[in-house]
């Protein structure tokens, strides 16, 4: 098993015919992912990458049975695209788009919360994220497929290339991954660390989790609390941004220490206190997991 995606996931790509959508959809198809349709308003009826193009997500879902949406729509229109996918019945939505206004995401998030309260749970991953990959089964995102391999380690991260770095270290030490989830670098995102940890805890194929956080917000602190109260599987945590000054945004809109909150020190302290294995040196993530697992294998 795995979380969020498996070999049966049927994906519709929103923003399919744009340059980013085209390039990455092709990479996903080459990986073996079932991309079943694309959506570009006004280009319905055409064929692109040998897949049918529809005007609306509703049409795509009805005609192809797609259950996951992968979004590459430009930032000004991306929030609306997320709501369209949700309205069309996609239970899983992965939004790659970077630069969506925070207020747009606040409105999206509240719509998703209202939907869940009404009994229809939707998993949104992102925005501003590399996507989700279940190695060997399904890749829905922009991550390089070849650095991954199937295995027992779940990975969840706020960053893109930092995740690749960690995955590469794991794979090179023979540690494959169950699913790798990039939750994105924005202040308001769909799935939190806690949401993904909940799924990994319930997934029989996941034996341990690597969690890569960064400065800003309190998602890592909340995840630490969840780990302490609800998790039985080991978690290895790394937090980026120790050398970052306060009050300056470090690329990601969410990576900013404001009013003394969201500091590297507070996150590390919260994880330590909860019993998460903290990795201080980015280069030692793979090594630390490998060392901890050796006694189990022996």
Partner 1 sequence: MKLLEHEAKDILRARGVAVPPSGGVIAKPAQVAAALKRAGKAPWVLKAQVLAGGRGKAGGIKLAKTPKEAAALAKAMIGMDLITHQTHGQAIKVRELLIEGGVKIERELYFSVVMDRKAAAPTIIASAQGGMEIETLAAEKPESIVRLTVDPTSGLRDFAGRRLAFALGVPADRVGAFVATAKALVKAFLELDCSMLEINPLILTPKGVMALDAKVITDDNALFRQPELAKKTDHEASALELEAKKADISYVGLDGTIGCMVNGAGLAMGTMDTIALAGGSPANFLDVGGTADEARVTKALGIILKDKKVKAVLINIFGGIVKCDMIAAGVVGALKKIKLKVPLVVRLQGTNVAAGKDILAKSGIAIIQADELWDAAKKAVEAAR
DSSP assignment of 5-56, as one string?
--TT--EEEETTTSHHHHHHHHHHHHHT--EEEEE-TT-TT-EETTEEEESS
Rounded distance, CA 292 to CA 298, Å?
11
- Annotate 73-103 with b (16+ C-beta within 10 A) or e (fewer): beeebbbebbbbbbebebebbbbbbbebeee
For the bound state, the minimum distance from the C-beta of residue 245 to partner 1, rounded and expressed in Å, comes to: 7
Annotated catalytic, 252? yes
Query: Phi first, then psi: what are they for 160, rounded to 5°?
Result: -90, -80
Residue 261: how many CB atoms within 10 A of its CB? Answer: 14
| Nearer residue to partner 1 within complex by CB, 32 or 247 | 247
For the bound state, the minimum distance from the C-beta of residue 79 to partner 1, rounded and expressed in Å, comes to: 11
Helix (H) or strand (E) holding 104: helix 102-117
Q: Is 107 left (phi over 0), alpha (psi -120 to 50) or beta?
A: alpha
| Nearer residue to partner 1 within complex by CB, 98 or 203 | 98
Structure tokens, 118 = 């009404």
- The partner residues of 181 in beta bridges, in order of sequence, read 132, 156
Residues found near partner 1 in the complex (CB under 8 A): 23-24, 27, 75-76, 99-107, 109-110, 113, 142-144, 146-147, 157-165, 168, 185, 187-188, 212, 214-215, 217-219, 222, 238, 240-246, 248-255, 258-260, 280-284
For the bound state, the minimum distance from the C-beta of residue 39 to partner 1, rounded and expressed in Å, comes to: 22
CB 218 within 8 A of CB 40: no
| Nearer residue to partner 1 within complex by CB, 74 or 152 | 74
| Nearer residue to partner 1 within complex by CB, 60 or 267 | 267
For the bound state, the minimum distance from the C-beta of residue 243 to partner 1, rounded and expressed in Å, comes to: 4
Q: Is 241 left (phi over 0), alpha (psi -120 to 50) or beta?
A: left
Greatest CA separation for the chain? 59
Query: Which of 48, 148, 252, 264 is labelled catalytic?
Result: 252
For the bound state, the minimum distance from the C-beta of residue 70 to partner 1, rounded and expressed in Å, comes to: 15
| Nearer residue to partner 1 within complex by CB, 20 or 205 | 20
Strand order of the sheet with strand 68-71?
Answer: 47-48, 51-54, 35-39, 11-14, 68-71, 92-95, 123-125
For the bound state, the minimum distance from the C-beta of residue 241 to partner 1, rounded and expressed in Å, comes to: 5
| Nearer residue to partner 1 within complex by CB, 218 or 277 | 218
Rounded distance, CA 44 to CA 37, Å?
11
List, by residue number, the catalytic residues. Answer: 252
């Amino acid at each position: 098993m795995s979380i969020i995606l498996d070999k049966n996931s049927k994906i519709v790509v929103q923003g399919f015919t744009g340059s980013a959508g085209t390039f990455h959809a092709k990479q996903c198809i080459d990986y073996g992912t079932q991309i079943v349709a694309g959506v570009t308003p006004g280009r319905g009826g055409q064929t692109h990458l040998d897949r049918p193009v529809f005007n609306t997500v509703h049409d795509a879902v009805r005609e192809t049975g797609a259950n996951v949406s992968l979004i590459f729509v430009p930032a000004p229109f991306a929030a609306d695209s997320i709501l369209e996918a949700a309205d069309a019945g996609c239970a899983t939505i992965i939004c790659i788009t970077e630069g969506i206004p925070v207020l747009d995401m606040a409105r999206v998030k509240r719509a998703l919360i209202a939907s869940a309260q009404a009994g229809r749970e939707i998993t949104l991953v992102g925005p501003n994220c590399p996507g989700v990959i279940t190695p060997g089964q399904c890749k829905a995102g922009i991550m390089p497929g070849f650095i991954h391999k199937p295995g027992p380690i779940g990975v969840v991260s706020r960053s893109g290339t930092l995740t690749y770095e960690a995955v590469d270290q794991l794979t090179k030490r023979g540690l494959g991954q169950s699913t790798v989830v990039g939750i994105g670098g924005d202040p308001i995102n769909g799935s939190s660390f806690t949401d993904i940890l909940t799924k990994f805890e319930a997934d029989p194929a996941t034996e341990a989790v690597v969690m890569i956080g960064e400065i800003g917000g309190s998602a890592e602190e909340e995840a630490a609390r969840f780990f302490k109260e609800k998790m039985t599987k080991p978690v290895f945590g790394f937090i980026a941004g120790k050398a970052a000054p306060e009050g300056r945004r470090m690329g990601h809109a969410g990576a900013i220490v404001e009013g003394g909150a969201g500091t590297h020190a507070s996150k590390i302290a919260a994880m330590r206190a909860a019993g998460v294995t903290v990795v201080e040196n980015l280069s030692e993530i793979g090594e630390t997991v490998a060392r901890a697992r050796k006694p189990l294998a022996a």
